[in-house]
Amino acid sequence: MSTQSNAVPESSLDSPVRAPAIVSTTRPMFWSVRRELWEHRSIYMAPLIAGGVVTLGTLISLIWLPHSMQEYAALGPIRERVMLAMPYAHIELLINFTAFVVGVFYCLDALHGERRDRSILFWKSLPVSDATTVLSKASIPLVVLPLLILPMIVILQVFILLASSVVLMASRVGASALWTRLPFFQIELVLVYGLIVQALWHAPLYAWLLLLSGWAKRATFLWAVLPLAAIAAFERIAFRTTYFGSLIKYRLIGFASEAFNFTMPDGTPVDGHFIPVSQLTPGRFLSSPGLWVGLVFAAIFLAAAVRSRRYREPI
């Protein structure tokens, strides 16, 4: 007599489950950068406000554009291009300067702020190395800010170009006069080149400010400014020279003389509001000792900032 087996099929709990392994990557660098953007809204808000202000002023000035176009035509082709490019240069300069100021004050507070509010104790408990944290903070002024302001500047410049075209089409001048005389694409190429050059040149400055941010207990801005001013003043009084002050000035704006040629082949000076593509000198910039010495010091300062964060206690 055969009896039906009462055996229950083997439970899935007893059998090995063969599921595809899901590997979760935390991407600490990516999320560290995202954290900086969440905590410091001024990184993108300040350039946006500056761009809005200069765009509003430019829109108001378009009232006189048809009359100005006739005056520009009498200045000659070179001066006419400069005058037409001037509003677009003002947008770029103001947003770029705002981003530079934001980058300076961000670096001064980046490591100091987490020590001041004692949040460093929480962040150190996470599986994120000090090197990753410092590099993520250094990437804000060197990479993130240029990538943020580049499309912002381009969009605002395109908006001004379209608004100018509408104003001119409503007048007797016509929009074609603007499109044929304004070297818009050259302006955008120089913009991209200039942002890259400026970021590389200012790398040691931002790295030095990050180091001070992780080292100083208070008044990081004074620690960043007063020692340099004291050294420059001492040299001027004691030796009647200004080598140190010239060095600081070179580090701040020296990239312009290295990356651009401000004299045309015929000896005519180039106006900074419009620099032709032919006047870019990337070879001279990349071979400049000031660039590579600055990058070496930037690496040293960042390494020191990593070590400082590892051993400094909350304030």
Token duo for residue 51: 């761009």
Residue 73 structural domain: 42-311
Is residue 3 in some structural domain? no
What does pLDDT average to over the chain? 86
Is residue 33 in some structural domain? no
pLDDT (mean) for 247-274? 90
Q: Cα separation of 139 and 213, whole Å?
A: 15
Is residue 19 in some structural domain? no
Is residue 86 in some structural domain? yes
- Per residue in 142-165, is it b (16+ CB within 10 Å) or e — as a string? bebbbebbbebbbebbeebbeebb
- Identity at 229, one-letter amino acid code: A
In the block, which residue shows the tokens 């420059």? 232
Longest Cα separation, the chain: 118
Is residue 54 in some structural domain? yes
**Which H or E run contains 130?**
helix 130-139
Cross-strand bridge partners of residue 263: 269
Token duo for residue 229: 């001013």
pLDDT (mean) for 22-40? 76
Confidence band for 299, pLDDT divided at 50, 70 and 90:
very high
pLDDT (mean) for 281-308? 95
Q: Quote the number of domains for the chain.
A: 1
Show Cβ contacts of residue 114 under 8 Å, excluding neighbours closer than 6 positions: 120, 123
Quick count: other Cβ atoms within 10 Å of Cβ 220? 23
State CA 157 to chain mean position distance: 18
Burial class (CB in 10 A: 0-12, 13-18, 19+), 74: exposed
The CA radius of gyration of the chain, in Å to the nearest whole number, is 28
Is residue 259 in some structural domain? yes
Q: Cα separation of 191 and 78, whole Å?
A: 19
Q: What one-character DSSP code corresponds to residue 261?
A: -
Is residue 9 in some structural domain? no
Token duo for residue 309: 């964060």
Look at residue 183 and tell me whether its pLDDT is greater than 70. yes
The fraction of the chain above a pLDDT of 90, given in percent, is 55
Of 122 and 3, the structure prediction assigns the larger pLDDT to 122
Look at residue 5 and tell me whether its pLDDT is greater than 70. no
Q: Cα separation of 279 and 274, whole Å?
A: 10
Whether 111 contacts 137, CB under 8 Å = yes
pLDDT (mean) for 269-278? 90
Of 118 and 57, the structure prediction assigns the larger pLDDT to 57
Look at residue 275 and tell me whether its pLDDT is greater than 80. yes
pLDDT (mean) for 11-34? 58
- pTM score: 0.86
Q: What is the pLDDT of residue 194?
A: 96
Comparing CA positions, the residue from 169, 189, 147 lying closest to residue 66 is 169
Confidence band for 26, pLDDT divided at 50, 70 and 90:
low
Is residue 27 in some structural domain? no
Specify the 3-state DSSP secondary structure of 208: helix
Q: What one-character DSSP code corresponds to residue 64?
A: G
